[in-house]
Chains A and B, each alone.
Chain A
């Protein structure tokens, strides 16, 4: 099963922070599908050596689904996705995206929403905030960034949120004391974190140490797959054998061979891409499988995980 793609045109490009560019996208034909706050799309990019797919949060108001916005941070060690978006994409160009999917929706029944963004992790909250305002929901945003690199949408947020915005520019030495932020909250507060792994870890471990119920903690990381050692994947059903290069994921290699694997997050959290393993040790890098399932080794998340050795045999 492959996810249909939607052809879109780039209407506008704006530099919203020194390393972040915003792309406004419109449908080439018909209308774009409606989306809910926290949704993301995958952008399918015709990279040099192979197709690249990256997931980006929609950072526009869900009440205005006629056009989508995504914001892309240029990654220093880009695997091609962000440097393609920054270097190759111009206004008027056509791109393909997947329909929106949502793995990070706000819990509308929350008493209060505590949003914590790190750098380009502000993006999903750009679709939360208009909706939370319409609902009259109580919320505050803690925004950690480095002014010389990130910090997109600050003026706009300052204007819209006033004292509900707390900004921490690490370049100016402003530190966010997570334990104070997390201690000062009443029953029914949900916390949402989007940003680098280290921030997510920091918030989760601080919250847990303070005694936050886990069901009130939500996070989203869009980690690009880390490179690893090259390996061979043997596919029993199609009888194919493929070489997975050091800097590509198993999922990308499968797609390159025309083998469609369902996927949503491409970051090891949604569980969609689970693929049965017949033989070979797996280096599990996902957050979806339980420790037991990982030890058992019967299943791999090919969007992020790889062979631990030189080869894997997959039931696909």
Chain B
């Protein structure tokens, strides 16, 4: 199978910049990614800014309940002029972004910092299992055991890259491992 290396769906990330006029400056990060938002946070007045921190390594596809519930409450009281800055692993960024969208925010209000690791969240297109921290391809699905090619195709809804079985014809075939960039 030929995979186009310039595949469009892979998100591009740039370092967030503070949007000075905002009714609420909201920062959300995993605990090991705070340094990416720190300089922005320091430019804000205390009254207009809030920071929520999560422990990294949550269950795939679900934010820790406590953070998710708290974010929900913050967003439901937030003004339309809210700006949201997110830092952490790639899956986390998109979980937060998706939760913000369902609270009514639009992408224009949300900035995602470059992910702190190259590890990917992987979505098995055969059994729909989500796996965290995938660093090389192919990868054996923890759900169905198939050997998955990790594609650059990114599903925003899951915050995950798509994995498709690579050795369907000959499950015995050995394949070279490639480190993901």
Interface residues of A (CB under 8 A from B): 111, 183, 185-189, 208-216
* B80 lies within 8 A of A187 (CB): yes
- Specify which of B23, B75, B76, B104 is in contact with A210 (CB 8 Å cutoff): B23
Which of B22, B77, B79 is the most central at the interface, judged by chain A CB atoms within 10 Å of its CB? B79
Interface residues of B (CB under 8 A from A): 19, 21-23, 75-83, 103-106, 108-109
* A215 lies within 8 A of B23 (CB): no
* B108 lies within 8 A of A188 (CB): no
* B81 lies within 8 A of A211 (CB): yes
Q: A209-B21, A210-B23, A211-B22 are in contact. Are A186 and B106 (CB under 8 A)?
A: no
Question: How far apart sit A157 and B18, CA to CA, in the bound complex (Å)?
Answer: 42
Number of A-B contacts defined by CB within 8 Å: 49
Which of B21, B80, B82, B103 is the most central at the interface, judged by chain A CB atoms within 10 Å of its CB? B80
* B109 lies within 8 A of A213 (CB): yes
Q: A187-B80, A210-B81 are in contact. Are A215 and B21 (CB under 8 A)?
A: no
Q: Can you name the residue of chain A whose Cβ is closest to the Cβ of B48?
A: A211
Question: How far apart sit A239 and B23, CA to CA, in the bound complex (Å)?
Answer: 58
* B78 lies within 8 A of A211 (CB): no
Q: How far is the CB of A115 from chain B (nearest CB, A)?
A: 15
Residues on B with C-beta less than 8 A from A211 are 19, 21-23, 81, 83
Q: How far is the CB of A260 from chain B (nearest CB, A)?
A: 38
Residues on A with C-beta less than 8 A from B22 are 211
* A187 lies within 8 A of B83 (CB): no
* B21 lies within 8 A of A216 (CB): no
Q: How far is the CB of A213 from chain B (nearest CB, A)?
A: 4
Question: How far apart sit A314 and B9, CA to CA, in the bound complex (Å)?
Answer: 42
* A186 lies within 8 A of B80 (CB): yes
* B23 lies within 8 A of A183 (CB): yes
Question: How far apart sit A210 and B21, CA to CA, in the bound complex (Å)?
Answer: 6
Which of A185, A186, A210, A211 is the most central at the interface, judged by chain B CB atoms within 10 Å of its CB? A211
Can you show 18 pairs from A to B with CB atoms below 8 A apart?
A185-B80, A186-B80, A186-B104, A187-B78, A187-B80, A187-B103, A188-B103, A188-B104, A209-B21, A210-B81, A211-B21, A211-B22, A211-B23, A212-B81, A213-B106, A213-B109, A214-B108, A215-B108
Q: Can you name the residue of chain A whose Cβ is closest to the Cβ of B84?
A: A187
Residues on B with C-beta less than 8 A from A214 are 108
